[in-house]
Amino acid sequence: MIRSIVDAFIEAPIVTSFTRLGYEARKRLDGWTSLDDYDLTGRVVVVTGATSGLGHAAASQLARCGAALVLVGRSPDRNQAVVDQLITETGNESISHVAADMGDLGEVRRLADRVLADHDRLDVLIHNAGALSTERNEAPGGVEATVASQVVGPFLLTTLLLERLADSAPSRVLTMSSGGMYASSLAPSDLQMSADDYNGTEQYARAKRAQVTLNEMWADRFGGRGVTFHSMHPGWADTPGVDAGLPTFSKVMGPLLRTPEQGADTLVWLAADDLPLETNGRFWLDRRPRSTHRLPTTKSKDTAERRAQLWAWVVQSAGQDPAT
Ligand SMILES: NC(=O)c1ccc[n+]([C@@H]2O[C@H](COP(=O)([O-])OP(=O)(O)OC[C@H]3O[C@@H](n4cnc5c(N)ncnc54)[C@H](OP(=O)(O)O)[C@@H]3O)[C@@H](O)[C@H]2O)c1
């Protein structure tokens, strides 16, 4: 009880909660189990965005815990370099990679085929790949690239791997969202900004809000099949992605930012601990479930009608309905 009160006190102001101050206080407060204590031998984990930042830190820790890993990034050379590095550093030789752009649905389909062909089980699917782009780009299918790579591609990958996940139950699908989504309302009809009014930060927040909403919807619709769906945010961590997408923020906040390992801690914990299997569809920071709304304005727009609209749009964009 006292710990929950202290945690709520840390959570209220974003600067204490999202920075390394929040991480360090909660780690001490809750007496966290060391990630090195988890033995994931025999479990198969797919991690997207594993060549840099949070995904790299998570992959490194998961490799140390003994999991068999499939690393996903866009460049075969970058992927292979990380595979080689992790094998050398951890001695875990069950690490492979597949090159795929998560915004290219043809590549996502090939990725799913490779995972299904190479692994007869799948314990954890981690959707971590993502970036904030200051310029508007389109993915091969014509969908705006932020949404294509962080909403549509991951939706298609989960859909294509759902049977294997269900057959491997209890299994988990984890999505790395962002605290930036707190500023954005669920707005399926505005999910893709046009070139005229494109704003990278706002587009990113919309995509991250959609990820969190879809996570809850996956849990509602498919959680009964032994698959646990959780999303999370990492706070603010010092990664190449933050340097590139938010350079001024990165400079100003520098000393307070979390390390990539600190930002990735909850991701690895969600993949490894038994506690996350007791609930479904939650949104986490620092090993505790958090509210998905901080503002009454975003909460009031999170309606059943908008959710249904979002699901219909993503099914159509992905070209695949998980229900069929
Ligand atoms: N760092 C933070 O403070 C923070 C805060 C909130 C949320 N996040 C989220 O955390 C995740 C990781 O971010 P990060 O800060 O670690 O960024 P990062 O250092 O730039 O790493 C991003 C990773 O995603 C991969 N990637 C990017 N676009 C991709 C695509 N279309 N298809 C496949 N892979 C792609 C990159 O690999 P390649 O370039 O090799 O393809 C790279 O491995 C993102 O979803 C981000 O939105 C981060």
The rounded Å distance from CA 174 to ligand 1 centre is 14
According to the model, what pLDDT value does residue 212 have?
98
The rounded radius of gyration (Å) of the Cα atoms in the chain is: 18
Beta strands, E only, the chain: 44-48, 68-73, 95-99, 124-127, 171-176, 227-232, 282-285, 288-290
Helix axes 304-318, 200-222, angle to 10 degrees: 100
According to the model, what pLDDT value does residue 10 have?
66
Q: Is 263 in the pocket of ligand 1 (CB under 6 A)?
A: yes
Establish how many alpha carbons lie within 13 A of residue 26's alpha carbon, considering only the half-sphere containing its beta carbon: 26
According to the model, what pLDDT value does residue 9 have?
65
Rounded Cα distance between 202 and 207, Å, is 9
Q: What is the pLDDT along the chain (324 residues), one digit of tens a residue?
A: 667 766 766 677 787 899 999 999 999 999 999 999 999 999 999 999 999 999 999 999 999 999 999 999 999 999 999 999 999 999 999 999 999 999 999 999 999 999 999 999 999 999 999 999 999 999 999 999 999 999 999 999 999 999 999 999 999 999 999 999 999 999 999 998 999 999 999 999 999 999 999 999 999 999 999 999 999 999 999 999 998 888 888 888 888 999 999 999 999 999 999 999 999 999 999 999 999 999 999 999 999 999 999 999 999 999 999 987
The rounded Å distance from CA 132 to ligand 1 centre is 9
Q: Is 178 in the pocket of ligand 1 (CB under 6 A)?
A: yes
Which domains are assigned to the chain? 2-318 (3.40.50.720)
According to the model, what pLDDT value does residue 6 have?
66
**Total residues belonging to the chain:** 324
Which of 15, 54, 83, 104, when mutated, tests ligand 1's pocket best, judged by the most ligand atoms within 8 Å of its CB?
Answer: 54
Instruction: Copy the structure tokens of residue 76.
Output: 């075969």
According to the model, what pLDDT value does residue 247 have?
86
Q: Is 309 exposed, middle or buried (0-12, 13-18, 19+ CB in 10 A)?
A: middle
The rounded Å distance from CA 46 to ligand 1 centre is 15
* pTM summary value: 0.97
Instruction: Copy the structure tokens of residue 277.
Output: 């299997």
| Closest C-alpha residue for ligand 1 atom 8 | 178
Instruction: Copy the structure tokens of residue 223.
Output: 């959680």
**What backbone phi and psi angles, to 5 degrees, belong to 127?**
-90, 100
Q: Is 298 in the pocket of ligand 1 (CB under 6 A)?
A: no
Rounded Cα distance between 91 and 89, Å, is 6
List active site positions.
204
| Closest C-alpha residue for ligand 1 atom 20 | 241
Q: Is 188 in the pocket of ligand 1 (CB under 6 A)?
A: no
Helix (H, G, I), strand (E, B) or coil at 43: coil
